[in-house]
């Protein structure tokens, strides 16, 4: 049994996720859709905080909201005239999109409802995800250590920096 505040917070977050993700893909002004994406990402960070993953929520806000959305907004401002609207969808295209999305929801929903009978319903109490444990796991070479992926990500980010400069520079 959760506290009432927790449940109210959950409903706010879930409603925000659903409404803002629908608005993100249906808004015809591209800058608005980027702002709705920002709200969706904040609501996701809310889910992480609610599940006691404080570090992951912080990373979500810092990297997604602080980095990716800013990057997307810059790209939009560089490539669009202000106030420009996307043209209306053709009904054929909308039908295709709706079919794919609804089929996905139906299949996943069916699987989930079948799964729900034996689903875990309680958050277990013996849970600890402190920052010290995360740091030790990231830099250890033991069984549950992540040193190799950590270094691989650093190489990947370096490659992304170089690739971004090479692709976007003026010839």
Partner 1 sequence: MKFDLTILMYIIPSVIMFCCGVYGFITRKNMIAILISLELMLNAVDINFVVFNRYLFPGQMEGMMFSLFAIAIAAGETALAIAIVINVYRVVKNVDIRELTKMKF
Residue 5, class by beta-carbon neighbours within 10 Å (0-12 exposed, 13-18 middle, 19+ buried)?
A: exposed
Nearer to partner 1, 78 or 82 (CB): 78
Secondary structure class of 29 (helix, strand, coil): strand
Nearer to partner 1, 122 or 142 (CB): 122
The least distance separating partner 1 from the CB of residue 144, rounded to whole angstroms, comes to 7
Q: Radius of gyration over alpha carbons of the chain, in Å?
A: 21
The least distance separating partner 1 from the CB of residue 128, rounded to whole angstroms, comes to 9
Nearer to partner 1, 141 or 167 (CB): 167
The least distance separating partner 1 from the CB of residue 135, rounded to whole angstroms, comes to 12
| The dihedral sign for the CA sequence 48, 53, 58, 63 | negative
Residue 45, class by beta-carbon neighbours within 10 Å (0-12 exposed, 13-18 middle, 19+ buried)?
A: buried
The least distance separating partner 1 from the CB of residue 87, rounded to whole angstroms, comes to 8
Length of the chain in terms of residues written: 171
The least distance separating partner 1 from the CB of residue 36, rounded to whole angstroms, comes to 9
Rounded distance, CA 75 to CA 72, Å?
5
Q: Which single residue is written with the structure tokens 């977050």?
A: 13
Tokens (6 digits) for 21: 């993700």
């Amino acid at each position: 049994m959760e506290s009432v505040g927790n449940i109210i917070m959950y409903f706010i977050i879930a409603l925000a996720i659903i409404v803002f993700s629908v608005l993100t893909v249906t808004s015809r002004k591209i800058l608005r859709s980027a702002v709705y994406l920002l709200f969706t990402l904040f609501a996701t960070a809310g889910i992480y905080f609610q599940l006691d993953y404080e570090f992951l929520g912080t990373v979500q806000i810092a990297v997604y909201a602080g980095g990716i959305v800013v990057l997307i907004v810059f790209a939009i401002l560089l490539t669009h005239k202000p106030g420009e609207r996307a043209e209306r969808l053709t009904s054929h295209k909308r039908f295709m999109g709706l079919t794919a999305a609804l089929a996905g929801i139906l299949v996943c929903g069916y699987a989930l409802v079948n799964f729900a009978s034996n689903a875990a319903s309680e958050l277990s109490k013996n849970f600890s995800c402190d920052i010290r444990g995360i740091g030790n796991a990231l830099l250890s070479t033991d069984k549950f250590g992540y040193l190799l992926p950590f270094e691989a990500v650093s190489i990947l980010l370096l490659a992304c920096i170089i690739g971004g400069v090479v692709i976007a520079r003026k010839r």
